[in-house]
Structure 1
């Protein structure tokens, strides 16, 4: 049984703070703990970071747009006055920093199970972070150097792959003599190491898909999928129906939880947001409202489902004519947070098989992904009529890449990985028919799409200025500078 996840408000959330806050601590003694006390914080913070990434990317990928179209970041991609980029801090301080210490403590006591899980979480956190930022410190990230060199993204990817390999090896060597890992410590898989191994293979499949088009790696993607399947269980965080504290509430929900240990920017803006034309068109592929729409949202006051172009603002329209974005499957106070969904695995398989010229496997995986999403959202009876509609490719020969990517877009509602997909395809209308450049994006971008987030101004621009200068990251156009796997992409645009 999945345990409800709780973000532990302890020193483990930011272990490095102890040296700063406790003036009575001897500088000659290194503070230690045991890995079982650190794992809940690593996993809880990973869930928190996953939400925060999605809350940022949901506007870029045009699931939603703000009511007035004037928000500097969400509508205009204007980061020039932003003082904090919390996604950077959450990765290094909350997730990877804790995971690194947990791995060291686990290695000291010989707990291969904790060391392996820690390395898998390091891999996941670094992969998601580098796909937001690009180049970043990895080789010297935890060396104690205040000015670590930013490594190229391909180097980060190599380290991610190394952590996955080492993590799997550690889990293979885990034994009953290791420190116990139960649902009290492991809020994802309750200590099931087979599930953790499958998750590691799924992370690798996701990573390999990012570069398969220019590294000839589609068969490797399919191999990773095949290795993930046997022990697969979704890496899911559950929340209680009745929460006693803010940190027991899914941050996508209508309570708009604002935990005291974070800044207000973590609160969702769905109250003041509406669906875009691009998303609503995706929900009308069959010529009528996709039945999943009514499970992703709830009806507005007037029962309508209006939409607007990204960043255009509603103008004279009434918010009563738009869907309420709360209390859908993903946006309730007790909705789950899932790091990689069943549907994503199916659509990774479909895309890789499509380019590997195995159209039969691609089509079946594509159908499996759609059906799994209908089942998840509680409308299994609607799958057959929908699958027979023009919204779905009727056979393997008809299947096109936009069929796969648009159904993946629907199924991965609010998931941050969708932004990776759009950038891999260079925001192509061949993969995403009807996608339009936002009306109010900054003019200085000259029609270029956003490609990355800026580094955290309060840490990197102050304490590591030489690296920022070397990369050119002070330029206002840095956020429209493509990442490594976009520059090398051979996918059509």
Structure 2
């Protein structure tokens, strides 16, 4: 009997010495991961960061009167496309969900797990993307949850002013870490390659310059009505210059294929309301979009009549955006022209969308637009934006000749 007691006691002691993790990971579902590593989450956050840019840009293309629709309906599920309808009638705006659910939750997972493992490279990238998403979201919606965003189902709404205070502190801490080899060259950093980071393949030097660009974008919000002074202008110029020292455009490239493997601006999503993400996605619907009079005349400088020597417009980039198409057959306007409409007035009864330029331009049957190919890219930040930010700062500092030169 005593022998059995000793055996039982030994087993009990061995059970007590085993960690909770050992027991929790026993008999796990073979078809589901019991643990998700931060390097496995980063591709998800990067993908949704690109999708966030599309969400904002797709709205912006209509709200800036670049594109319109050919229909006369004044109400639809896309209020920003149809007659400047009531935004409150829309079921959802994707930017909100994209920030809090798709990017925010997953970025928090990266940051928490990477910090615990001292994988500073992953923490830096995760925090940089979170900050980018935070600014874009508060710029659109104003006050929003931040400090208590994931602590309850009804978090406190922070003021936009306090959110900007946090972002300005966060950007300085991030830049300090990017500049410190203790973090960027730590032995505990997890190797990152192109399969994990489709933007920079884990190159923290490139991520650092992107972070300087985000700093310039943050500081730009102070002009002209908040802190419009020489110090602010110089801080913006300095941030832009630091970004440009080792700049590479921040592009998320798509391989093409099935579903979300295609660029959201590609023709795969050109004729559908639903994007490659199913119900939570949004197609570009460029097959039903029409260029506006404002965009064509005021921005591109379209000629009243086609001039074979100069092309269709003063801005030669028009051919990278669209191709002219024939008008209605049997009418006096049947020729091939770069047609356009005033915003939200609809087409005349004899016209169809096919009589207006295609936004998937072709030359000799080959797609030529770098912007709307299935294998295209979504930019998170371009050098052009940096130059325009610097132009704005030099303008308000009184250096108008430099501002003009940078703009040109």
Interval containing the TM-score (normalised by the shorter chain): 0.7 to 0.9
Q: Of residues 137, 141, 154 in structure 1, which corresponds to 2:145?
A: 137
1:77–1:198: structure 2 CA closer, same or farther, 3 Å change rule? farther
Contact 1:137 1:148 in 2 (8 A): yes
State yes or no: 1:105 paired with 2:113: yes
- Structure-2-length-normalised TM-score: 0.77
1:342–1:280: structure 2 CA closer, same or farther, 3 Å change rule? same
State yes or no: 1:340 paired with 2:381: yes
State yes or no: 1:147 paired with 2:180: no
Could you say what secondary structure the match of 1:84 adopts?
coil
Could you say what secondary structure the match of 1:315 adopts?
coil
Could you say what secondary structure the match of 2:398 adopts?
coil
Q: Distance in 2 between matches of 1:275 and 1:259?
A: 21
Unaligned stretches of 5+ residues in structure 1: 1-23, 368-493
Unaligned stretches of 5+ residues in structure 2: 1-26, 305-312, 327-334, 362-368
Q: Distance in 1 between matches of 2:190 and 2:90?
A: 44
- Cα deviation for residue 285 of structure 1 reads 7.6
Deviations 1:200-229 (A, max 9, x none): 111111122122212122222111101111
State yes or no: 1:313 paired with 2:330: no
Contact 2:296 2:302 in 1 (8 A): no
Could you say what secondary structure the match of 1:182 adopts?
coil
Contact 1:202 1:345 in 2 (8 A): yes
Matches within 5 A, 1:91-130: 91-130=99-138
State yes or no: 1:87 paired with 2:99: no
Matches within 5 A, 1:55-94: 55-70=58-73, 71-72=75-76, 73=79, 74-75=81-82, 76-94=84-102
Q: Of residues 212, 215, 218 in structure 1, which corresponds to 2:223?
A: 212
- Cα deviation for residue 289 of structure 1 reads 3.8
Could you say what secondary structure the match of 2:268 adopts?
coil
Q: Distance in 1 between matches of 2:277 and 2:353?
A: 32
Q: Of residues 346, 349, 358 in structure 2, which corresponds to 1:324?
A: 358
Contact 1:123 1:161 in 2 (8 A): no
1:89–1:102: structure 2 CA closer, same or farther, 3 Å change rule? same
Matches within 5 A, 1:52-451: 52-70=55-73, 71-72=75-76, 73=79, 74-75=81-82, 76-142=84-150, 144-171=151-178, 172=180, 173-177=183-187, 178-214=189-225, 215-216=227-228, 217-240=232-255, 243-256=256-269, 258=274, 261-263=277-279, 266-281=282-297, 282-284=299-301, 288-301=313-326, 302-316=335-349, 317-327=351-361, 328-367=369-408
Contact 2:276 2:282 in 1 (8 A): no
Deviations 1:223-242 (A, max 9, x none): 110111112111101122xx
Deviations 1:3-33 (A, max 9, x none): xxxxxxxxxxxxxxxxxxxxx999xxxx753
**Is the strand fraction higher in 1 or 2?**
2
1:324–1:196: structure 2 CA closer, same or farther, 3 Å change rule? same
Q: Distance in 2 between matches of 1:148 and 1:66?
A: 38
Q: Distance in 2 between matches of 1:61 and 1:187?
A: 30
- Total equivalences in the alignment: 338
Range moving further from structure 2, 115-124 or 217-226: 217-226
Deviations 1:154-194 (A, max 9, x none): 11112222232222233332215111122121111111111
Q: Distance in 2 between matches of 1:314 and 1:331?
A: 24
Q: Distance in 2 between matches of 1:166 and 1:259?
A: 36
Contact 1:116 1:169 in 2 (8 A): no
Q: Distance in 2 between matches of 1:36 and 1:353?
A: 40
Q: Which residue of 1 aligns with 2:366?
A: none
Contact 1:119 1:164 in 2 (8 A): no
Q: Which residue of 2 aligns with 1:42?
A: 45
Deviations 1:82-111 (A, max 9, x none): 222222111101012211110111100001
- Structure-1-length-normalised TM-score: 0.65
Q: Which has the larger radius of gyration?
A: 2
1:164–1:358: structure 2 CA closer, same or farther, 3 Å change rule? same
Q: Distance in 2 between matches of 1:354 and 1:80?
A: 38
- Cα deviation for residue 79 of structure 1 reads 2.4
Q: Distance in 2 between matches of 1:140 and 1:278?
A: 43
- Cα deviation for residue 39 of structure 1 reads 0.7
- Cα deviation for residue 341 of structure 1 reads 1.2
Q: Distance in 2 between matches of 1:264 and 1:183?
A: 27
Q: Distance in 1 between matches of 2:241 and 2:205?
A: 14
Could you say what secondary structure the match of 2:339 adopts?
coil
